[in-house]
Amino acid sequence: TGLKKYFPLTGGLFGRKTGELRAVDDVSFTLRRGRVFGLVGESGSGKTTVGRTLLGLYPPTAGEIRFNGRPIQHLSPRERSALRPQMQLVFQDPYSSLNPRLRVGEAIGEALLQHGLCPPAQVRDRVIETMAICGLAARHYSRYPHEFSGGQRQRIGIARALILQPAFIVADEPVSALDVSVQAQVINLFSDLQQQHGVTFLFISHDLGVVEHLCDDVAVMYLGQIVEIADRDSLFRRPGHPYTQALLAAVPTLEAGRGPQVMARGEVPDPSRPPAGCRFHTRCPHAQPRCREQAPALRTLGPGHRVACHFAL
């Protein structure tokens, strides 16, 4: 709730602070257990920073993160370390996070041993079980990361996160480096994990098409803020924010009636100097003088559907 993450900007000969990058600027949302929450936006929107702040990789500048109703900031160091395996990250490029000298089975089982979550004698069985859930055969256990394709490496990355039986997983652009045909397989795996194993995901993506296939709830971010948040059906059937409409217009579809065909003008502004008023006004085809002066607050458009635009209907 009210999550902010600002990074200092430095410059000059002595590396003096010259400003700050408001990567996440007052963001609030709730992840519901067993559901997939999609966080969408272009690069520079702050979506990755949200994911990393939730995982405790960045301390928040302000705001509160609650886990099972309890503010994480108020937990004791012991409680926090017990919480760590509960929250896992799946990277865009799993290869960079895999030790090339470690066999894949060992890489997947490593964290179980580190956290003391399984007697060493049982680790191999747990790894093989988790590999099977992720669509990897037991014979892959002794192979090295370089022997796998991009899609298989992503399955390894997912198995590494899943083996800890986390309460939730942040998946940061997990399919954007994959071929389209492989993307579909990995998305199906996420979907199975959610439906059959009740895993909760924060799924970060720049691609609304991917999000539509997988996510139950969606928040659209622009320059550090959420501009629209809704359940999937409301967002895709009735997108209220011109930015969401522009993102949707860029997704190829055979469906008619997906709302107005809006095109955003120009490029995303420098996130360290976001425009005053509505941050989208420099690109919005519907911008009015009021938009340049007054920042729109999120307001309710329908049940669970909120939009930050002065003129959304």
Could you tell me the smallest distance in angstroms from the CB atom of residue 227 to ligand SF4? 7
Nearer to ligand SF4, 141 or 311 (CB): 311
Rounded to the nearest whole angstrom, what is the least distance from the CB of residue 278 to ligand SF4 in the complex? 3
153 vs 283, which CB is nearer to ligand SF4?
283
Q: Is the dihedral of CA 309, 310, 312, 313 positive or negative?
A: positive
One-character DSSP codes across 79-110 = HHHHHGGGEEEE-S-GGGGS-TTS-HHHHHHH
For the purposes of burial, counting CB atoms within 10 Å of the CB of 152, is it exposed (0-12), middle (13-18) or buried (19 or more)?
Answer: buried
**Which residue's CB is nearer to ligand SF4, number 46 or number 94?**
46
Instruction: For residue 3, give every residue at least 6 positions away whose Cβ sits within 8 Å of its Cβ, in sequence order, or none.
Output: 24, 26, 27, 28, 50, 53, 60, 62, 63, 64, 65
The counts of H helices and E strands in the chain are 10, 12
Residues 225 and 25: beta-carbon distance below 8 Å: yes
Q: How many chain residues bind ligand SF4 (CB under 6 A)?
A: 14
Min dist. Cβ of residue 161 to ligand SF4 (A): 36
Helix (H) or strand (E) holding 155: helix 150-162
Binding flag, residue 291, ligand SF4 (CB under 6 A): yes
C-alpha distance across the termini of the chain, in Å: 26
User: Binding of ligand SF4 at residue 296 (CB under 6 A)?
Assistant: yes
Q: Does 162 bind ligand SF4 (CB under 6 A)?
A: no
- State the binding string over 215-254 for ligand SF4 (x if CB under 6 A, else -): --------------------------xx------------
Our finding on whether 46 is near ligand SF4 (CB under 6 A) is no
**Complex with ligand SF4: residue 134 or 309, whichever CB lies closer:** 309
Which residue number, 122 or 288, has a Cβ lying nearer to ligand SF4?
288
From the CB of 294, what's the least distance to ligand SF4, in Å?
A: 8
- 90, with CB counted inside 10 A (0-12, 13-18, 19+), is buried
Instruction: In angstroms, give the least distance from the CB of 292 to ligand SF4.
Output: 8
* Residues numbered 250-289 forming contacts with ligand SF4, rule: CB under 6 A: 278, 280-281, 284, 286-288
Give the nearest distance from C-beta 23 to ligand SF4 in angstroms: 20
The DSSP result for 6-55, as a single string, is EEEEEETTTTEEEEEEEEEEEE---PPTT-EEEEE--TTSSHHHHHHHHT
Q: Applying CB under 6 A, does 310 fall inside the site for ligand SF4?
A: yes
Nearer to ligand SF4, 210 or 309 (CB): 309
Residues that bind ligand SF4 (CB under 6 A): 241-242, 278, 280-281, 284, 286-288, 291, 296, 309-311
